[in-house]
Structure 1
């Protein structure tokens, strides 16, 4: 019935797999949990016990293939009708996570998204930016997500019928970090495949430092620029793209790019401080995107 697919990179996913395994056994369903490590440099030995759990499979790649390709690889190795993508740095918010999915009317939809949650415990000061961003921008109530079902869906907790992959897949041209899930969701939108939003969240546990989060954000924006210039099949309607188009219309995009270069260090100092602002973070992102486009 269910293939749980877990891409792993530099994270101890064994506690997650152990819990998913326990819940599947409790539900008495046919299942498999497939985990592929994308050439991690950390935590490899901690994930080895996964292979000794019944119906669980653990494979280590010798070379990193990227977030899109590994998700396609996981799907290609699956054997059941339904695929559940679960990121390695997440954990079910409740003990009925699996049953909440399998007890849905699965015949009515092809895709379900359960949501993302963050703990209320305040992290260390050097991790605040990622935590605040996650709480305000990702951990949305079902009622909010349903207003923009495609924009508020993430692949980190996605139940999808395998037949969808007979037509669609993750764009393997996207080899760097960021927006591979956005590209896939936009493709679903293009094909009018509806996403059902439900309340069945996973906690996102792995909070990067604010400095690392900023670095990954810059890489993601570089990926977004690549997608916008190379993938003509999907409609690029992110807030960043729309804002950039407005700035270009008023011919101030180059001015914003120059201002970003002058203020970059000050912005980064604020965003890695004890009181980072999401408004400043938004300005940082559009400034860097204008800079990328000006090169």
Structure 2
């Protein structure tokens, strides 16, 4: 039977039987899998995570999506999971940083595994590998990487695919060269005491940079490991959606520059933005870069180059 609790702050909790059984025993899982979602159906991910014999729990956050039919489907899936599971449904959206901090407060495990709702584990025994790493080395922070191995190819996503393959889908040794730069909450293991010491900065709004900024603060105190225990990113964006995210992220980039200039000034995104800043008539040529990036008839490599320049041009206001 599902237990449903309504809290006065607009937070509804739905627990499955296994979650309640853990509470009665006074036991704690070794790993808490934390999944925020906003109008995305995490059904495939939940099914893939329900591995037998793994000492883990799942906490899912519906961050004010407002889709009642989807919320009912998520509650039903939570009920059917063998692993202990909780669904948190918010009455209004609170954003990426606040949502993940909220998820951590509900978790009971010593280690937290942040996963995005549009991810899908690549290797068999994905959770078992994370649990083993947490137990054997008591790892402070580790990123497992992500791929596009299981992502369907669609014409409208080719630009995002090309850009992700070039900059994001990288093996562990390459990521380890700049460990804080290649940290994303799409597949991130964090020990509880680390997260209680350093949570996500809730001053970030919209999309972008809150996970990398968090890693910059963490890296000053704890080692960040990079391993190959990847998950596929299924939720590629169309070119207009990707451009809109970059436009949202400009203010967040400015926040990172202000707080972590010593780190971010070495990033290519900063150096290109700095090079573009002196150029005159940005208001004229910046839209032209965007138009080229959105032109589906243009070659994908050229569109990707234009989109990267457009992002740097947006960021040039902050350098």
Which TM class, normalised by the smaller chain length? 0.7 to 0.9
Shift, 1:214, TM fit: 1.3
Question: What is the CA–CA distance in structure 1 between the aligned matches of 2:129 and 2:246, rounded to whole Å?
Answer: 33
**Whole-angstrom CA distance in 1 between matches of 2:151 and 2:105:** 38
2:268 is matched with 239
Give me the TM-score of the superposition, normalised by structure 2: 0.80
Match of 1:46 among 63, 73, 78: 73
State how far apart, in whole Å, the 2-side matches of 1:34 and 1:269 are: 37
Q: Hey, what does 2:17 align to over in structure 1?
A: none
Structure number with higher relative contact order (C-alpha < 8 Å, ≥ 6 residues apart)? 1
Q: Normalization by structure 1: what TM-score?
A: 0.86
> Hey, what's the Cα distance between the residues in 1 that align with 2:263 and 2:100?
22
Q: Are 1:88 and 2:117 counterparts?
A: yes
1:61 aligns with 2:90: yes
Does 2:206 align with 1:176?
A: yes
Q: Distance in 1 between matches of 2:262 and 2:99?
A: 21
Distance in 2, matches of 1:97 and 1:111, equals 17
- Aligned-residue offset at 1:61: 0.5
2:25: which partner in 1? none
In 2 relative to 1, CA 85–172 (structure 1 residues): closer, same or farther, beyond 3 Å? Answer: same
Question: Once structures 1 and 2 are overlaid, which stretch shifts more, 79-88 or 149-158?
Answer: 149-158
Between 113-122 and 138-147, report the one with greater CA deviation: 113-122
**Cα pair 1:190 1:234 within 8 Å, conserved:** no
Using a 3 Å threshold, how does the CA distance of structure 1 residues 49 and 120 change in structure 2: closer, same or farther? closer
Confirm or deny: 8 A CA contact 2:144 2:188 kept in the other structure.
yes
Alignment equivalent of 2:48, drawn from 16, 19, 26: 19
Query: Deviation above 6 Å: which 4+ runs of structure 1?
Result: none
Distance 1:217 1:227 in 2: 15
User: Cα deviation per residue 1:67-120 (whole Å; 9 max; x = unaligned)?
Assistant: 000111011111110111111000001221012222236435311111101027
Equivalent-residue separation in structure 2 for 1:146 and 1:126 (angstroms): 32
How many corresponding residue pairs? 282
Task: Check the 8 A contact 2:290/2:310 in 1, yes or no.
Answer: no
> Corresponding residue for 1:275?
299
Question: C-alpha separation between the residues in 2 aligned to 1:267 and 1:71?
Answer: 35
Aligned-residue RMSD, C-alpha: 2.4
**2:215 match:** 185
Q: What is the rounded CA distance, in whole Å, between the counterparts of 2:58 and 2:247 in structure 1?
A: 33
Following superposition, the deviation at residue 122 of structure 1 comes to 6.2
